[in-house]
Structure 1
């Protein structure tokens, strides 16, 4: 059953994973305007701290108030909060 999840606070439907203590590297390229960042070439270490709304920053938490730190936990928690729409029944009376 396809669902569309959204932020319980602002209804935005894009989330972001926030990781901490990560070492990243990016290539630096020459452009007509000077030096600029290219693509990310590596990311090492760190851990996922939380998932949050990409718009308002609402942190998704489990019933105990602990921030969710795995993608597999996000949908069930949002569903418990009623922050989803069942796309199969959208538009039905």
Structure 2
């Protein structure tokens, strides 16, 4: 009887099971799980948290995230330079005429 249908048990063993298993795609997005330690500066911490967005993108999408984070961190540093600091005390060596 060559027209016999294989039994269900036989269909779910061997190569048939492997055909149903999802294949691992090395190019698929995967979390990098890089730890990020809070800095205490809310603006900087928000930018660093944005790096997690890259975990869900393919590698060609990472550049946009990294450039955005870099731009934000650069702006935060520039803002620190623009803040007025405490007045500088006069030097004891200045001419007091």
Q: Which has the higher contact order (CA 8 A, sep 6+)?
A: 1
Point out the structure with the larger strand share: 1
Instruction: Name the TM tier (shorter chain).
Output: under 0.3
Q: Which structure is higher in helix share?
A: 2
TM-score computed with the length of structure 1 as normaliser: 0.22
Between Structure 1 and Structure 2, whose CA radius of gyration is higher?
2
- The TM-score, its normalising length taken from structure 2, stands at 0.21
